[in-house]
Amino acid sequence: MTFSGNKVKWRAEKLSHLGSSIFSEVAGWKGEAIQAGLDVIDLGIGSPDQAPALEIRQTLSAAVIRENSYSYPSSKGSLAFRKQAAAWMKKRFGVTVNAEEELVALMGSQDGLAHMALAICNPGDLAIVPDPGYPIYAGSLAIAGVRPWSLPLLAENDFLPDLDSIPEEVWREAVFILLNFPGNPISTEVDMDFFAKLISLARKWEVLVIHDLAYSEMGFDGYKPISILQVPGAIDTAVEFHSFSKSFNMAGCRIGFMTGNREAISALRELKGNMDYGVFDPIQEAAIVALELAMTGNDASEGVASLYERRRDVFVEALALEGWVVPKPRATMFIWAPLPEEMDNPSEVGSSRAFARDLLLKTGVAVIPGDAFGSQGEGFVRIALVEEESRLVEAAKRIGRYLQKGE
């Protein structure tokens, strides 16, 4: 509806800066491809195609049936869940956190990431975010009226952020810096020296470090992602997000947690206490079992890592046979692929978005254009390894035919 006076359509302009519109756009392309009779292989959205472990599902099922499961949950998470999450942090990373004051349950890590700027910033404040980066990083700033300062992740620097390139005036103004290792869309890894330098700078400039570790259990080739809270004293100036979506195939359950600096935890808890009533208790009970299984070595997380490692190997090798050589990530469920340098393609596709659309409409293979993750993503596409190996091989063959013939 449009009004003739000063009023406009009932839609906030800030929504146009959320960055998630590309996923709706790709969904539209998929609809076109399906209508044209194509069999779509969707390597776009990073949604796991496997189910959680049987014990997790059984726990959830039993808890849902109980009559006393339907009261309001705690907005900060049950104490049982928070204690188990703290125990897992100790077992997995050797990090000690206080379950009462330094941990809050979330409806998935995106819940916390979307609301963090609202909880700790005032409109007009400045925050440092990576480019390319997961869309909610910049989107959350638009919602909160916070100014972004983009930290470029460049191929010539192995996609590592150059902390020394951040001007002093930016450090002086910034409320927080947000990074994620290994990341989405880029699975860059860092060592403890990098984290120690980051914490040192953050402490010097009194900047909160927000580390998104959603892919902590998806390391390959012997690599195990590390926690920023392993740096001595990091908890004084850092928080970290953890998710059950990818590690335990619980994406639809919507559960995760943030842990670290208690002032930041308190701020997010207070905001959430006024916005929602927390995570459904049966889901928290299922998540407790997931963490218990992980701590005893009987969980599916090793299977998750090995599953995506196999898929990575199969797909990257299949693409290479078709003439498209892409880097092999050492973590996550994504391939960050530079556009092919030479394509015998009559459509002369140039941009990432044009390439992704043309590829989908001609082959049925869906990928996400890199510019969806920031201006530095132009020239790349993100490919999610969320199909069985046979379908990944088929996708590679279709891509090969497309690159050679443009069809």
Do both 233 and 110 map to the same domain?
yes
Average pLDDT over residues 377-396: 97
Question: Residue 285 is encoded by which pair of tokens?
Answer: 């009970």
Pairing status of strand 208-212 against strand 174-179: parallel
Q: Does residue 87 belong to any structural domain of this protein?
A: yes
What is residue 202's predicted lDDT score, i.e. its pLDDT? Answer: 98
**C-alpha 56, offset from chain centre:** 22
Q: Of 296, 312, 327, which residue is a domain's last?
A: 296
Q: Does residue 5 belong to any structural domain of this protein?
A: no
Whether the predicted pLDDT of 2 surpasses 70: no
Q: Does residue 4 belong to any structural domain of this protein?
A: no
Average pLDDT over residues 3-20: 70
The type of residue at 389 is: E
Domain count, the chain: 2
Do both 222 and 265 map to the same domain?
yes
Cα 153 to Cα 53, 161, 165, 336, 373: the distances in Å are 36, 5, 11, 12, 11
Structure confidence at residue 345 as a pLDDT band (50, 70, 90): very low
Map tokens 């199969």 to a residue: 314
- What pLDDT, in 10s, does the model give residues 149-203? 999 999 999 999 999 999 999 999 999 999 999 999 999 999 999 999 999 999 9
**C-alpha 142, offset from chain centre:** 18
Do both 256 and 390 map to the same domain?
no
Pick the range with the lowest mean pLDDT from 6-20, 32-46, 316-330, 349-363.
6-20
Whether the predicted pLDDT of 347 surpasses 60: no
- % of the chain exceeding 90 in pLDDT: 86
DSSP H/E element including 150? strand 147-152
Structure confidence at residue 299 as a pLDDT band (50, 70, 90): low
What is residue 1's predicted lDDT score, i.e. its pLDDT? Answer: 47
DSSP code, position 351: S
Q: Does residue 3 belong to any structural domain of this protein?
A: no
Average pLDDT over residues 262-275: 95
Decide which of 129 and 45 is more confident.
129
Do both 96 and 211 map to the same domain?
yes
Question: Residue 52 is encoded by which pair of tokens?
Answer: 């959680």
DSSP H/E element including 119? helix 109-120
Which has the closest alpha carbon to 265: 394, 104, 395, 390? 104
What is residue 60's predicted lDDT score, i.e. its pLDDT? Answer: 98
Kindly report the number of other CB atoms within 10 A of residue 92's CB atom: 19
Do both 28 and 130 map to the same domain?
no
- What pLDDT, in 10s, does the model give residues 63-84? 999 999 999 999 899 999 999 9
Do both 91 and 228 map to the same domain?
yes
Half-sphere exposure of 128 (CA within 13 A, CB side): 30
Do both 115 and 169 map to the same domain?
yes
Q: Of 281, 296, 311, which residue is a domain's last?
A: 296
Do both 274 and 174 map to the same domain?
yes
C-alpha–C-alpha distance, residues 41 and 171, integer Å: 44
Pairing status of strand 126-131 against strand 147-152: parallel
What is the CATH classification number for the domain harbouring 182?
3.40.640.10
What is the CATH classification number for the domain harbouring 383?
3.90.1150.10
Angle between helix 281-296 and helix 54-65 axes, rounded to 10 deg: 150
Q: Does residue 330 belong to any structural domain of this protein?
A: yes
Domain that holds residue 219: 54-296
Map tokens 């929504």 to a residue: 15
Average pLDDT over residues 204-232: 97
Q: Does residue 63 belong to any structural domain of this protein?
A: yes
Question: Residue 290 is encoded by which pair of tokens?
Answer: 């997931």
What are residue 285's phi and psi, to 5 degrees? -65, -40
The type of residue at 64 is: V
Question: Residue 88 is encoded by which pair of tokens?
Answer: 């897992």
DSSP H/E element including 170? helix 168-173
| CB-CB contact of 88 with 294 (8 Å) | yes
What is residue 7's predicted lDDT score, i.e. its pLDDT? Answer: 61
The type of residue at 158 is: D
Do both 35 and 58 map to the same domain?
no
**C-alpha 260, offset from chain centre:** 19
Structure confidence at residue 405 as a pLDDT band (50, 70, 90): confident
Q: Of 229, 262, 296, which residue is a domain's last?
A: 296
C-alpha–C-alpha distance, residues 336 and 370, integer Å: 8
Q: Does residue 335 belong to any structural domain of this protein?
A: yes
Strand runs labelled E in 229-348: 238-243, 256-260, 334-338
What is residue 4's predicted lDDT score, i.e. its pLDDT? Answer: 55
Q: Is the peptide bond before 132 cis (omega within 30 degrees of 0)?
A: yes
C-alpha–C-alpha distance, residues 10 and 80, integer Å: 42
Averaged confidence pLDDT in the chain: 93
Q: Does residue 6 belong to any structural domain of this protein?
A: no
Kindly report the number of other CB atoms within 10 A of residue 405's CB atom: 12
Whether the predicted pLDDT of 287 surpasses 50: yes
Decide which of 7 and 51 is more confident.
51
What is residue 346's predicted lDDT score, i.e. its pLDDT? Answer: 37
What is residue 10's predicted lDDT score, i.e. its pLDDT? Answer: 83
Do both 85 and 203 map to the same domain?
yes
Do both 78 and 226 map to the same domain?
yes
Do both 26 and 58 map to the same domain?
no
What is residue 23's predicted lDDT score, i.e. its pLDDT? Answer: 83
